[in-house]
Amino acid sequence: MSVVSTTVEDGVAVLTMDNPPVNSGNAAMRSGLADALDSIAAREDIRAVVIASANKHFYAGSDISEFDRPLVDPQLPAVIERIETLTVPVVAAITGLALGGGFELALGCDARIADTTAAVGFPEVTLGILPGAGGTVRGARLVGVPAAIDLVASARRVKADEALRLGLVDEVVESADLVHAATERAQQMQGKNRLRDRTAPAASVEEIDAARAIASKRARPNVLAAIEAVCRGVDIDASDALAEERLLFDSLRVGAESSNLRYLFFAKSAAAKALRTEAKAPAVSVVGIAGAGTMGAALARAFRARRYDVIVYDTNRQALDRVTANSDITVTDSIADLGKTGLIVDAVFEDMDVKKSLLTSLEPHLADDAVIVSNTSYLDLNEMASALDRPQRFAGLHFFNPPDRNPLVEVIRAGTTDGSTLAVLASIVAKLGKSPIPAGIGDGFVANRVYADYRSQVEFLVEEGASPAEVDAALVELGFAIGPFAVADMSGLDIAWARRKRLAPNRDPEQRYVTIADRLCEAGRLGKKTGAGWYAYPDGAKRGIPDEVAASIIDDARRDAGVAPRSIDGDEIRDRVQGSMVCAAASLVENGIAGRASDIDVAMTEGFAFPKWLGGPVRALALRDPSDVIDVLAVVHRSCPLSFASAEPATRGEMPELIGRILESVR
Ligand code: 3HC
């Protein structure tokens, strides 16, 4: 059966696309549309056409799983050309999402009617490509160059009301009336209204330059190409512009960046899918946050922004007052008030006794099916669960700073967590718009564990001779927005210092330990807030500058460790950082704390700003020549044989089996 069906009534043909789950445009969809349009072209009794959807979404873009191979004909531009060459008007009836190729299909129509659920946009640049079926050409002819630059380069979704204001759609109606309204519009239209025949609305050079300047900031090559395609396309013949756009699209589609970004798209899907269970999840509408500190307050904002009713509990009245300023969040100093909530997030002080005492005093107030999650970064969730009568309704939900903006969330199953609790969490993280990964119990779970090895490695590099500024610069060159030492100064060095002191008694003497950070803290250099850390911040400077004091603290530490400093180039810095993360990934997968190596790539790109266009640390190494990888792993192993034990075979010129396996899994 075709995924596109046609019904005809009163001379209007309604083509209904039905390709679940999201009506993405694959070969079957394109040939279904092409066949339906060809049949209409051959009939004389049809006066108008409506293209509609049987699903929640109109058409969520091309099926990107087809992008690794040559695309099968008919390709989307040829389908859209059929719409344009029909002599009768064609109206798109947009419900839900019309994204990428889906919106381009709608722009090929003669009018666009949306319902109130609709949102349109061009997400292509997030996949390393640009719109390839006329988005830059027809988009600019519809709304003008500045607005088209913004849409194409920002990849933002435009909801129905704004789409109407911008002229991206012609009318917005209630969902129940959508096909009827589109049919009426199609019947009333006098002939065709093709965007390709229009001249773009006028815009001044200043307006275009301003839009271009905003969109070009820190933009990847594909974004710059998209901006140029929009600008150039309005000055040349539409057919030439469409052909040029398609060529660019195809060359970007087969490139490494796009392939890595598609890999990440499916990695995120796989991580989210791993959380799904068959169990029923009671709907949660009221969320409690226990603890009104910085994290608790930010979590409250994150939940409120997604329309949860939020109650924040704390015994500290001043902290509660800070939460209520500028927000419609309820606060309370009575724990019993959390009884109304379906999910409670523990964001109290990171101390086992404090957490356990919260859990025992909280549980008696809750409904039996309420779920408690802890946002702990390091504490043992199984020990926390032991404080509860209903440990099956308890799990870890670990957010990353700043939790109202950082998309990463680890969903951690404790030994006793049941399936229905996981189902509640899967639906909550989806509603929050977060990128979840499943994680098991282990020190630092997944992301912080990988980050810890990355942090250790950058300190090894400094002890061996690189300056903090050299390390930061090398990693900015890799694609991080800011290097790890600048990040540490911004966050403050004291929390990690306190943790190191706490863990010191149990530290393995074989573990390589760099003392520089401790010495900086002992000298009162706790980061930007104290005017100095790894860098100095004279007179409240925004960006740190390398200074003599830090340099001499580093020299002392090297001397005491018996290290003769050498110069280390950017390639070695980048290799060792990525190699360390991959070793950590391998041990996390081996001991089951991470489900898949690709989850680590999701964690590092979503939560820790690892450059997405490289696909993540595991993918980046997996795409390199195996003999290079062995060399990288050998150097990483030598930097600390205990931490990077899994890389030992590389020192004998062999690919470590476990690492070889995880690299293979992400190719
Ligand atoms: N290609 C292939 N598979 C896709 C897909 C796509 N464009 N969009 C979604 N899927 C798959 C997902 O991988 C997932 O598969 P799974 O169930 O096996 O894990 C399933 O469809 C459902 O997707 P989600 O779980 O992501 O569903 P949500 O409801 O959370 O989100 C969505 C729906 C917002 C549409 C989201 O899937 C999305 O952002 N998709 C990508 C949209 C996009 O980027 N489109 C542009 C493609 S490029 C293009 O059109 C080129 C053109 O210019 C020529």
* Segments making up each domain of the chain, as ranges: 4-254, 286-439, 448-665
Q: Is 79 in the pocket of ligand 1 (CB under 6 A)?
A: no
H-run or E-run covering 448: helix 447-464
Tokens of 406: 């950082």
Residue whose CA is closest, atom 15 of ligand 1? 269
Look up residue 572 and give its DSSP letter. H
Which tens digit of pLDDT belongs to each residue from 412-438? Answer: 999 999 999 999 999 999 999 999 999
Domain 286-439 bears CATH identifier 3.40.50.720: yes
Which pLDDT belongs to residue 443? 84
Atom of ligand 1 nearest to the CA of 135: 53
DSSP alpha helices (H): ranges in 42-132? 76-85, 101-107
Which tens digit of pLDDT belongs to each residue from 351-377? Answer: 899 999 999 999 999 999 999 999 998
Burial environment of residue 569 by CB neighbours within 10 A (0 to 12, 13 to 18, 19 or more): exposed
At residue 620 the predicted structure's pLDDT band, cuts being 50, 70 and 90, is very high
Chain mean pLDDT for the chain: 96
CA of 102 to the centre of ligand 1 (A): 11
Which pLDDT belongs to residue 352? 93
CA of 256 to the centre of ligand 1 (A): 20
- DSSP character string of 403-434: TTT--EEEEE--TT--HHHHHHHHHHHHHTT-
Q: Is 406 in the pocket of ligand 1 (CB under 6 A)?
A: no
Residue whose CA is closest, atom 38 of ligand 1? 60
Give the residue with greater pLDDT, 424 vs 282: 424
**CATH architecture of the region 4-254:** Alpha-Beta Complex (3.90)
Which pLDDT belongs to residue 2? 85
- DSSP character string of 462-498: HHHT--HHHHHHHHHHHT-SS-HHHHHHHH-SHHHHH
Dihedral sign (CA 149, 151, 153, 154): positive
Q: Are 205 and 146 in contact (CB under 8 A)?
A: no
- Residue 326 pLDDT more than 70? no
CA of 612 to the centre of ligand 1 (A): 17
Report the pLDDT averaged over residues 14-32: 97
Which pLDDT belongs to residue 282? 83
Taking the C-alpha atoms of residue 130 and residue 357, their distance in angstroms, rounded to an integer, is 54
Q: Which of 81, 124, 257, 410 is catalytic?
A: 124
Look up residue 389 and give its DSSP letter. S
Report the pLDDT averaged over residues 138-167: 98
Q: Is 131 in the pocket of ligand 1 (CB under 6 A)?
A: yes
Residue whose CA is closest, atom 24 of ligand 1? 269
Taking the C-alpha atoms of residue 270 and residue 428, their distance in angstroms, rounded to an integer, is 17
Residue whose CA is closest, atom 7 of ligand 1? 63
Residue whose CA is closest, atom 35 of ligand 1? 60
Which pLDDT belongs to residue 146? 98
Report the pLDDT averaged over residues 632-653: 97
Q: Which of 81, 84, 104, 463 is catalytic?
A: 104
At residue 404 the predicted structure's pLDDT band, cuts being 50, 70 and 90, is confident
Q: Omega of the bond prior to 123 within 30 degrees of 0, cis? A: no
Q: Which CATH number fits domain 448-665: 1.10.150.120, 1.10.1040.50, 3.40.50.300, 3.40.50.1470?
A: 1.10.1040.50
Residue whose CA is closest, atom 28 of ligand 1? 22
CA of 53 to the centre of ligand 1 (A): 16
Look up residue 75 and give its DSSP letter. P
Atom of ligand 1 nearest to the CA of 273: 19
Q: Is 65 in the pocket of ligand 1 (CB under 6 A)?
A: yes
At residue 15 the predicted structure's pLDDT band, cuts being 50, 70 and 90, is very high
- Residue 315 pLDDT more than 90? yes
Q: Is 61 in the pocket of ligand 1 (CB under 6 A)?
A: yes
The single-letter code of the amino acid at 260 is: N
Q: In a mutational test of the pocket of ligand 1, which residue from 24, 80, 262 has the highest number of ligand atoms less than 8 Å from its CB? A: 24
In sequence order, the 6+-apart residues with CB closer than 8 A to the CB of 183 are: 12, 14, 48, 50, 91
The yes-or-no answer on residue 124 being catalytic is yes
Write down the pTM of the prediction. Answer: 0.95
Taking the C-alpha atoms of residue 93 and residue 115, their distance in angstroms, rounded to an integer, is 8
- DSSP character string of 123-179: GGGGGTS---SSHHHHHHHHH-HHHHHHHHHH---EEHHHHHHHTSSSEEE-GGGHH
At residue 21 the predicted structure's pLDDT band, cuts being 50, 70 and 90, is very high
Report the pLDDT averaged over residues 546-559: 97
Q: Is 533 in the pocket of ligand 1 (CB under 6 A)?
A: no
Q: Is 68 in the pocket of ligand 1 (CB under 6 A)?
A: no
Q: Is 96 in the pocket of ligand 1 (CB under 6 A)?
A: no
Which tens digit of pLDDT belongs to each residue from 64-107? Answer: 999 999 999 999 999 999 999 999 999 999 999 999 999 999 99
- Residue 49 pLDDT more than 70? yes
Q: In a mutational test of the pocket of ligand 1, which residue from 17, 22, 67, 95 has the highest number of ligand atoms less than 8 Å from its CB? A: 22
CA of 21 to the centre of ligand 1 (A): 9
Same fold, 286-439 and 448-665: no
H-run or E-run covering 12: strand 12-17
Which tens digit of pLDDT belongs to each residue from 209-254? Answer: 999 999 999 899 999 999 999 999 999 999 999 999 999 999 999 9
User: SS3 of 98, please?
Assistant: strand
Which pLDDT belongs to residue 279? 86
Residue whose CA is closest, atom 52 of ligand 1? 101
Residue whose CA is closest, atom 19 of ligand 1? 269
CA of 433 to the centre of ligand 1 (A): 14
